[in-house]
Structure formats: structure tokens, C-alpha cells
Amino acid sequence: MAAATRPPDGPRVRPAKETASRPARGPAPVNDALVLFGVTGDLAHKMIFPALYAMVKRGALDVPVVGVAFPQWSLERLHRRITDSIERAGGVDDRRAFQHLLSLFRYVSGDYNAPATYAAIRQALGSARRPAHYLAIPPALFETAIRGLGAAGLAAHARVIVEKPFGRDLASARALNRAAHAVFPEDAIFRIDHFLGKEAIMNLLYFRFANSFLEPIWNRNYVASVQITMAEAFGVQGRGAFYETAGCLRDVIQNHLFQIVALLAMEPPSARDFGAVHNEKAKVLRAMRPLRAGDLRRGQYAGYRRESEVAANSDVETYCALRLFIDSWRWAGVPWYLRSGKYLPETATEVLVQLHAPPQGLFGDAAPGRARANYLRFRISPDSAIALAARVKSAGKDFVGEQRELYLSEAQPGEEAPYERLLTAAMNGDGALFTREDAVEAAWAVVNPVLHHPPRVRPYARHTWGPKHAGAILARGESWHNPGPDRAGA
């Protein structure tokens, strides 16, 4: 492979690593069983069981589900765990579907390192020959489970669904990709990021390329900056041990927010298939300039070090803000500001695409520096909306006005939850909403320079917008857009 090079004062040049769109081969075979590793864990309880129940209700799941975990549970105890999950998620509203879901489950207890565990899985699968193996387990066990599946002959005609994080840095991501490819082909590996299953995230792609009015202004000539904020009004919620191994940069920004950047910054795909979309997203990630310490601000909420299973002198960030540049023709020189944090004032995710001010200050109240220029706002959660801000004249003879939003609410009742959509897609062989090997490695390459020697964390008070020094990465005249309770015309 040719070495990546970078001119002394210019953007880096990387060799293209583009994967061709999958040729038309007819519909992919549907999996005839689901093997759920980590069935007794929190992820299964909070997210996966409700998703499986929803799939059964709409007829998308009618195959054996083999739960695998270390505890010596009976099937009856697993049924109680599933029942508790469904009750907490809203309750049983279809008794027949619920009973059918329970009837699909089988349980295998065993050590993921033991060949006997995989022999028991094979026996529990019965006549199923095309299972999907879902690894809802700690990342340290991914390679162990994948090797075990391969050694037991359970990978043939199968798929593997891997939870995030896919690696801890560039080296570990590459090692995990090698381990996965030793057992499964790339089109049988589904790297799950539940953010990609959100309706609002899918709408970013649709909105960009289904409308012609955006294209003339969707570039460095008209876009001054882009801000993406993912705020959470709560703390680590008992997940201190996990957060000590991850931190905000790894947990949220390198995957979730980078995926939003890729959708917003990508060029039009050559065709309407997921291979072409993945190619363009990967190009964006490869064009991202590797981070430097000055591009990054880290914070830690007051009291984090007193959380359960958190080190007394922890330097792990619960807040992260960064400045990102994409070295492409379309986006050269445009700063992308990303931030996320826990114990912020709101729980919301928003994108603000800030446009340049008009070139001449014809009206004083709209002159550059007097008021925020026009912008496009994407509300991703907790509700979904798109807003375009424009100035309108106030009544009277004076040429003064105010900025108002043209607001479109995108909330749709009955839409699929992310895990329901992603599990259905994976079992149908549809990789559109999953991340690809080259994209995963390209994203890690961007953050890798600051992962192991980052700037120190700064404390911030709970329910504030993070440490004050985070504003230093913004350009002069810029300020953070703080999402609040959404309303039309805000």
C-alpha cells in the first residue's frame, strides 16, 4: 500500500481505499436464527428485548433466538428478565406477540473462551444454518467470541453484528478488523452504531440530496461554520467502569458525531445503493485533518470522581469539544465544531449550519457583527425538526426586522426505534445503516494523535454548558449554539 503523505504546508494526501458498490446479486438471504451474546446484560435489557418485541409484533421476527451468557440461568429466569424489560419499556400491548417472543428464546450458559459453549450454541440452533451472531458484550471479548464462532464452524453462511466501540484507537480497530476478517467476509460484518438507525439521522441524507435548493450554498463560499452538539442532562448513570475505559471522545464523538459530519459533508453518491453512500462517507473521513492538542478541549463534571468505580484521580473527560477541518474542495477552511457532554442543561442533539452574512451591510440591524446571520438548524433529538432562519422586516417605515425560523417538524408517530430498525436490517443483509471497515479506521486516524496524550481535563459545574475554556476553539465572533426546548420560530 502506498504511504500517506502530506505536503509541508498543505493538506495530507492519502491513497484512495474505495470499496465498490455491491453488485446486484438478488436479495441477500435472511438469517434463520439470532444468537444474542450478552443476553443477561444491561444493553439487552434496555434496548434489545424491546426491539425484538416490536419486530415480532410487525412480523419481522419469527426465528429462534439463542441467548448466550455466563450466568447459570434457567430459561424461566430469562423469561422474567425479558418480561421486566418489556414492562419498563411501555408494557405488553399484544399478549399473543409477547408470548410468541418468549417461545422463540433458548438459553446457553457458558464461558466465551470454552469450545463447549459453542458446541451448545450449535445444538440450540437446531436446523438453523444461517444465524446472525450479535455481540452485545464488552469490547474486550469481541475477538474471543469471533474466534470461537470460527473454530466451531458457526460462521459459515452467518453474519456477525458487533456493538460499538469498534476498537479503542487506530491500532486496536485494525487488529479487530483483521480478527473479524479471518472468520467473516466484510459484507457479513455489521458494525452497529444505534445513532445511524435514528429517523432524524436518515433524514439528513434524504434532505441533502432530495432537494436542489441546498446545493448552490452547500460549500465554503456560503457556509461559515458548522456546529454539532450532543448534550445530555444526566451523568454516567452507574456506568463509571465503562466510562473510565472510554471517555466522551471515544464514546460519542469519534463515532456518532463523525457520522453526522460525514452525512453533511459528503458528495452526492453515484447511485442509490449503500455501497456508493459508504464510499462518499469514507472519503469525508479520510479528508478530515488529524486533530492536534489545540483543537481539543476536555472537561469533567463536578463529582465525577465520586461516582462508583471511577478512579479518585481520574483524568477521563465527560465533556469534549473539538475543532475539525475537512481538507476537500467543498469544505476547505470551514471549521466544524463538535461537542458533547454529560450533566449539561438539556438533553438534545442539534446541528447548526451557520451561513456567511450578506457581503454588504445595507440594513444596520442585519450588518455583520450585529446579529447572527442566516442559518440552517437540524434538530435530531429528542424531537426531530428542520429550521431555516431568515430575517424579515418588522411593520413600520423603518428598515429594521428580526430573524425568524421557517420551521418544519419531522416527528412521526409509530416510527421504528433505532435497534428495531438496525436488527431487522442486519438480519436481512442490508448494510446501509452500518459502518464499514475503511470508515472505522479513517475515523480513528483523525482522533488518534490526541488519544494517548490529550490536554488535561478542566472541571465544570453540573447543568452548565461545560468548561469555559471550550469557547477558545471558536473563531472570533463565533459563539456556541446551545440547544434548548425546541419551538417554532425560535
Q: Which residues are catalytic?
A: 256
Distance between CA atoms of 207 and 380, rounded to whole angstroms?
13
How many other β-carbons are positioned within 10 Å of the β-carbon of residue 373? 17
How many other β-carbons are positioned within 10 Å of the β-carbon of residue 271? 10
Sheet arrangement for strand 159-162: 105-109, 65-69, 33-37, 131-135, 159-162, 189-191
The C-alpha cell of 429 is what? 443483509
Cα pseudo-dihedral 56, 58, 59, 61, rounded to 10: -40
CB 55 within 8 A of CB 419: no
Q: Which of 261, 304, 321 is nearest to 286 (CA)?
A: 261
Angstrom distances, CA of residue 398 to CA of 192, 363, 404: 55, 10, 18
Distance between CA atoms of 477 and 395, rounded to whole angstroms?
29
Angstrom distances, CA of residue 382 to CA of 309, 311, 330, 483: 29, 32, 31, 11
| Runs of H (alpha helix) within 134-220 | 142-151, 170-181, 199-210
Cα pseudo-dihedral 302, 305, 310, 315, rounded to 10: 90
CB 152 within 8 A of CB 90: no
Q: Which of 456, 430, 421 is nearest to 61 (CA)?
A: 421
| Helix or strand run (H / E) with residue 242 | helix 240-245
CA 112 from centroid of its chain's CA atoms: 27
The count of residues in the chain is 490
**Amino acid in the structure at residue 61:** L
How many other β-carbons are positioned within 10 Å of the β-carbon of residue 38? 22
